[in-house]
A and B are shown apart, each in its own frame.
Chain A
Amino acid sequence: MQSEVRVLIGRTLAGDQTAFAALYHQYKNLVYKTAWLLLGNSAEADDALQEVFLLVHRALATYQPERAAFSTWLYRITTNYCLSWRRRRRLTLLPLEWAGQTPDAAQRHHEERLEDTDTIFRCVQRLSGKKRAVVVLRYYWDLSYAEISTILDIPLGTVKSRLNEALRIMRDELGPLLSIEGAMLPDAGREVRS
Chain B
Amino acid sequence: MNCREARDLLVALSNDEVTRSERVLTQAHLAGCPACQAEFEALAEVRRRLTGGLKMRGAAAAPSPRSWAAIQSRLGPRAAPARRWLIPASRLVSGALMAVALFAASSALNPLTGTRLVSELATATPERATVQPTITATPIMVMAPDADRIAPPDGDPRREMALDRAAAPGRNRSPLAAPIRPARREADRFDADDTMAGLDSAPAIEEKETPCNACSMLN
Contact = CB atoms under 8 A, between A and B. Distances in A.
Contact of A139 (B42, B45, B51): B51
Interface string A127-139: 0000000011011
A37 B54 CA distance: 8
Interface in B73-111: 74-75, 78-83
B50 A139 contact: yes
B214 A59 contact: no
Contacts, number: 196
A43 B178 CA distance: 38
Q: DSSP majority for the A interface?
A: helix
B131 interface: no
Given A50-B74, A51-B191, A81-B195, A62 B203 contact: yes
B50 A13 contact: no
A134 to B, nearest CB: 11
A29 B57 CA distance: 13
B54 A14 contact: no
Residues of B in contact with A, size category: 35 or more
Nearest to B50: A139
A67 B35 CA distance: 44
A182 B50 contact: no
A67 B83 contact: no
Nearest to A52: B195
B196 interface: yes
B63 A153 contact: no
Interface string A70-92: 00110011001100100010000
Contact of A33 (B15, B47, B61, B79): B61
B41 interface: yes
Given A49-B63, A144-B17, A182 B38 contact: yes
B64 interface: yes
B70 A183 contact: no
Contacts of B123: none
Given A73-B202, A180-B45, A185 B39 contact: yes
A28 B217 contact: no
B201 A73 contact: yes
Contacts of B80: 13-15
A66 to B, nearest CB: 9
A124 B61 CA distance: 16
B55 A140 contact: yes
A57 B12 contact: no
Given A62-B202, A183-B42, A145 B17 contact: yes
Interface in A161-194: 163-164, 167-168, 170-171, 174-175, 178, 180-183, 185, 187-188
A111 B218 CA distance: 46
Nearest to B202: A62
Interface of B: 8, 10-12, 15, 17, 35, 38-39, 41-43, 45-47, 49-58, 61-64, 67-68, 70-72, 74-75, 78-83, 190-191, 194-203, 205, 214-215, 217-218
Closest 10 CB pairs of A and B: A15-B80, A120-B53, A182-B38, A84-B194, A182-B42, A32-B63, A67-B201, A36-B61, A140-B54, A117-B53
22 contacts: A13-B81, A15-B80, A28-B68, A32-B61, A33-B58, A51-B191, A51-B195, A55-B191, A58-B214, A68-B200, A77-B196, A77-B202, A81-B191, A121-B54, A140-B55, A167-B46, A174-B49, A175-B42, A175-B46, A183-B42, A185-B38, A185-B42
